[in-house]
Amino acid sequence: MKALRLGLGELVILGDLLTRPRKMHRAPEQQAAVASAAGQLALYQFRACPFCVRTRRTMHKLNLPIELRDAKNDPEHRQALEQGGGRIKVPCLRIEENGETRWMYESKDIISYLNQRFA
């Protein structure tokens, strides 16, 4: 069963690579402002999770340099996700704004947030 799951995960990743959307192009000063704002975000994710792939595709399309944190293979990130967000569920976007930290779960909510903020 685990081998099947791993194989399907690799197929999802390959499909993403083959069908990845084009990156949004911005003027250099606009992209610098986006990069600065994206510096306050981090995505906790698993590499082969289909919902994480979907979220990363949106990040790629919007040309967002958001830090990816592997909550499956990195014990520190896994612990931070559990302590900060309250559960180990991915994808989870960590948002730091005005000195406060928010944890956003659900790929649809994350994608909607990224589109509203950066599209």
- Which helix (H) or strand (E) segment is 102 a member of? strand 100-105
User: Can you tell me the distance from the alpha carbon of 26 to that of 64, in angstroms, rounded to the nearest whole number?
Assistant: 11
The strand pairing partners of 41, in sequence order, are 95
In order along its 119 residues, the chain shows pLDDT tens digits of 777 776 777 787 787 778 888 999 999 999 999 999 999 999 999 998 999 999 999 999 999 999 999 999 999 999 999 999 999 999 999 999 999 999 999 999 999 999 999 98
Instruction: Please give the model's pTM, rounded to 2 decimal places.
Output: 0.88
User: Can you tell me the distance from the alpha carbon of 60 to that of 80, in angstroms, rounded to the nearest whole number?
Assistant: 24
Name every residue whose Cβ is closer than 8 Å to that of residue 67 and which is 6 or more positions away in sequence: 41, 42, 43
Tokens of 113: 């947030």
Report cis status (omega within 30 of 0) of the bond before 91.
yes
